[in-house]
Amino acid sequence: MASATLALRRLPWRRLLWPGVWAALLLALLVTLGVWQLHRLRWKLGILAAIHAAELAPPIPLPAQPTPFEKVGVRGVWLRTRAALYGDIVHTLPQGEVQGGDLIMALLRKDGPPVLVDRGWVPETLPRALADPPGEVLVAGFVEPPARPGWLSAPDDPAKRLFYTRDPARIGTALGLPRVAPMMLMALGPRRPGRYPWPRRHLPHPPNNHLQYAWTWFGLALVLVVEFFWWAAKRLRE
């Protein structure tokens, strides 16, 4: 009789065994994901610190396999007779909203095929090369790999040298350059009031949401613990 009574008293706890095991496994997974995001945060902060240091340092020579987070320098002579326009970009100026796009020109190198350079935004509807001083120049910037048109991309107009996809080969052909470097150089530099183009001022920065993700996983783990104890207490009172 005593053993039967003891077994009945233990029965409610036995009903919690497998739910508790699964809850513990899920809790371990959520905590692991949160810790992993903290490691990712530390890794991303290192990348952002390297990008900041690169922005302050002089440009490095263009490597064989450049990344978008390096500031590189390319020497060459501008092909001053042709240009293309990328995008349909509107900027708000003192006189109101002005339509334009990014001016693309070719930089002729001694040690390789020409490099197409996105020099920044200009308030123009048709592409026109800038009257830069002759001679070799050093252009600082970062590289972008070739892009491919998406389903919603506007169609390019090579005849007018208006493009909506940064495809160096296609743009180069429209400029009369059958062979160009397989990437685009995005020029960096200061923006001068009243003078164009407007180059980019910073290297691209990858998003850093890992702390929010970590708090999300840890928050779900806390909710799981609270919910499980509330459910277990309810079952034990039944």
Which pLDDT score is estimated for 1? Answer: 47
Distances (CA, A) of 146 to 68, 171, 208, 231: 12, 11, 25, 55
Which pLDDT score is estimated for 124? Answer: 75
Which pLDDT score is estimated for 18? Answer: 77
Would you mind telling me the total number of residues written for the chain in this entry? 238
CA angle centred on 20, ends 17 and 26, rounded to 5°: 145
Residue 56 CB neighbours (<10 A): 7
In the structure encoding, which two tokens stand for residue 157, read together? 């107009």
Helices (H), 133-237: 168-174, 210-237
DSSP state of 113: S
What CA–CA distance (Å, rounded) separates 125 from 197? 13
Which pLDDT score is estimated for 217? Answer: 96
Beta-strand relationship, 137-144 and 96-108: unpaired
* Residue 162 CB-density burial (10 A; 0-12 exposed, 13-18 middle, 19+ buried): buried
Question: What is the Cα gyration radius of the chain?
Answer: 29
Residue type, 216: T
Which pLDDT score is estimated for 8? Answer: 45
DSSP state of 198: B
Which pLDDT score is estimated for 69? Answer: 85
Which pLDDT score is estimated for 88? Answer: 78
Contact in structure between 118 and 180 (CB atoms under 8 Å): no
Residue whose token pair is 């100026």:
93
In the chain (238 residues long), the average pLDDT of successive 10-residue segments reads 49 71 93 96 93 90 84 92 84 73 93 93 77 86 88 86 93 93 93 84 92 96 92 77
Contact in structure between 30 and 220 (CB atoms under 8 Å): yes
Q: How far is CA 191 from the centre of its chain?
A: 22
What CA–CA distance (Å, rounded) separates 53 from 57? 6
Contact in structure between 159 and 127 (CB atoms under 8 Å): no
